[in-house]
Amino acid sequence: MKSDSYGAPILTEKERSRQIRKEAAVSMILYAAFFLWWYFTGYGLGGGDPKDYTFIMGLPMWFFLSCIVGYVGFCIASVIIVKKVFKNFSLEETADGGDTDE
């Protein structure tokens, strides 16, 4: 496989398009999962009388789970997803403007 001057592989237009769509879809799914986590732990556990709340490290459990655990957990998940799914490839087109099949 050919590579550009920075060592990134040069993909065909079809391969590039497929990889870009895959990375975008995975990013949107990860964001949707984070939003759902934040929404359901924040609003689901946050209802009721504040004097009945369970506290973790001085914070209400709903806040700790939605804002602290969710943030840290999804930061770690993002790093793992980037390492496993995302690829380094050249976005430049070939000199002749066509696809490279090599």
How high does pLDDT run on average in the chain?
85
Q: What pLDDT does residue 77 have?
A: 96
List pLDDT tens digits, range 39-50.
Answer: 999 888 888 888
Contact predicate 56/64, CB 8 Å: yes
Q: Is the dihedral of CA 13, 19, 21, 24 positive or negative?
A: negative
With the CA atoms of 94, 96, 98 and 102 taken in that order, what torsion angle do they form, in degrees rounded to the nearest 10? -60
Instruction: Give CA angle at 11 (5, 15), nearest 5°.
Output: 160
Distance from C-alpha of 67 to C-alpha of 60, rounded to nearest angstrom:
11
Q: What pLDDT does residue 49 have?
A: 84
Q: What pLDDT does residue 101 have?
A: 47
Where are the extended beta strands (E) located within 27-75?
A: 55-56, 59-60
Q: What is the pTM of this model?
A: 0.76
